[in-house]
């Protein structure tokens, strides 16, 4: 479950959490950075699942374990970050809240489910 791809996913979702909080304060300068960070997080999250699906035996085992325990919630987190992009123009505060919640949920699930994996997965 712990792959090198997470070295990119975790910092980018951290950026989404921070920028989502700043967006709640309605600071206009953050919108382009927020858009890039949210889309990057969704892309990396999807790439993470794809990487587990096409990886070796251990990676596929990790995907099955992850999907059974939190897969649909992970997709909800990615969906919240994607919906934040759609909400950004009309409802910036709601977009910040959605992205904040989505990024926090996705990160939490990877850590929570991943800590119960045996070494090497």
Q: Is residue 85 part of a domain?
A: yes
Q: Is residue 121 part of a domain?
A: no
* Nearest of 82, 90, 79, 105 to residue 34 by alpha carbon: 82
Q: Give the separation between CA 85 and CA 45, rounded to whole angstroms.
A: 15
Q: Is residue 119 part of a domain?
A: no
Q: Is residue 55 part of a domain?
A: yes
Q: Please tell me the total count of domains within the chain.
A: 1
Q: Is residue 1 part of a domain?
A: no
Cα–Cα separations (whole angstroms), residue 108 to 29, 55, 114: 28, 23, 10
The stretches of the chain forming alpha helices (DSSP H) are 6-24, 31-54, 57-87, 92-114
Residue 79: its pLDDT value, please? 94
Residue 119: its pLDDT value, please? 53
Per-residue pLDDT tens digits for 31-45: 889 999 999 999 999
Which domain does 40 fall in, by range? 6-114
Per-residue pLDDT tens digits for 54-108: 888 888 888 888 888 888 899 999 999 999 999 988 998 899 999 999 999 998 8
Q: Is residue 120 part of a domain?
A: no
Dihedral over alpha carbons 4, 7, 112, 16 (to 10 degrees): -140
Residue 118: its pLDDT value, please? 59
Residue 75: its pLDDT value, please? 92
């Amino acid at each position: 479950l712990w792959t090198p791809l997470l070295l990119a996913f975790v910092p980018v979702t951290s950026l989404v959490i921070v920028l989502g909080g700043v967006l709640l304060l309605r600071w206009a300068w953050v919108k382009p950075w927020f858009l890039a960070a949210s889309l990057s997080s969704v892309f990396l999250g999807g790439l993470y699942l794809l990487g587990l699906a096409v990886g070796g035996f251990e990676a596929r085992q990790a995907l099955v374990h992850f999907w059974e325990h939190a897969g649909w919630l992970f997709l909800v987190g990615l969906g919240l970050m994607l919906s934040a992009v759609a909400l950004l123009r009309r409802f910036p505060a709601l977009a910040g809240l959605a992205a904040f919640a989505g990024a926090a949920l996705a990160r939490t699930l990877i850590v929570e489910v991943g800590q119960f994996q045996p070494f090497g997965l």
